[in-house]
Amino acid sequence: MFMRNAVSIFVTAAGVVALNVASIGLAAEAPANPVALGSAISEAQLADWDLIVAPDGQNLPEGSGTAAQGQAVYQQQCAACHGAAGEGASGSPALVGGSVSTTPPLLTVGSYWPHASTLFDYVRRAMPPTAPKSLSNTEVYQVTAYVLHLHGVIAEDFVLDKNTLPAVQMPNREGFTDVSGN
């Protein structure tokens, strides 16, 4: 590093040209991004930390579950708020049934959500509200299958796993228009 005189010229509001000379230190070849403090980390290190499951299902974990297996998980973890059959209650949304075209519409996982991946993703990261992230991946597969089955999206013995989940067709899959322009 060496010292260099930086000279700038600017015009004041009164129209007077002024010179500003300052002695500052400049790197001989400044990098485009002078501060680079990020520490390298590998995707393998993030395997248990990255919970994002998009519709492509690429980040779905190992494990599997069926609706039949999920019923017990649902009754234990979900039913107190969402109702014994997913009908919802005050303060907790219905999960199944309903329609976008009734007056008023009833927007549920079954009638509204366009992707099954969202149900897996949301349950794993945020449910149950009193103890988020307390369910095992297997339990998340099971209870996801159960909710989808309650709405008739999949059969009771359908095995939900990282291969089958992305292919599940939600009833309202074509109900959304992406207006992001992206």
User: Under the rule (CB under 8 A), what is the footprint of other proteins?
Assistant: 32-43, 46, 49-56, 81, 91-92, 99-101, 103-105, 107, 109, 112-115, 117-118, 121-122, 125-126, 129-130, 132-133, 175-182
Q: Between residues 122 and 158, which has the closer beta carbon with respect to other proteins?
A: 122
Q: Between residues 69 and 146, which has the closer beta carbon with respect to other proteins?
A: 146
Minimum distance from residue 99 beta carbon to other proteins (Å): 8
Minimum distance from residue 64 beta carbon to other proteins (Å): 22
Minimum distance from residue 81 beta carbon to other proteins (Å): 5
Q: Between residues 1 and 179, which has the closer beta carbon with respect to other proteins?
A: 179
For residues 120 and 40, what is the distance between their CA atoms, to the nearest angstrom? 29
- Helical (H) or strand (E) element with 24: strand 17-26
Q: Between residues 64 and 118, which has the closer beta carbon with respect to other proteins?
A: 118
Q: Between residues 24 and 40, which has the closer beta carbon with respect to other proteins?
A: 40
Residue in the block written with tokens 């300052």: 22
Minimum distance from residue 92 beta carbon to other proteins (Å): 5
Q: Answer yes or no: are the C-beta atoms of 88 and 78 closer than 8 Å.
A: no
> Given CA atoms 131, 120, 63, 60 in this order, what sign does their dihedral have?
negative
For residues 154 and 78, what is the distance between their CA atoms, to the nearest angstrom? 19
How long is the chain? 182
Measured at the CA of 52, the angle between CA 46 and CA 55, to 5 degrees, comes to 135
DSSP bridge pairs for 92: 89
Minimum distance from residue 87 beta carbon to other proteins (Å): 14
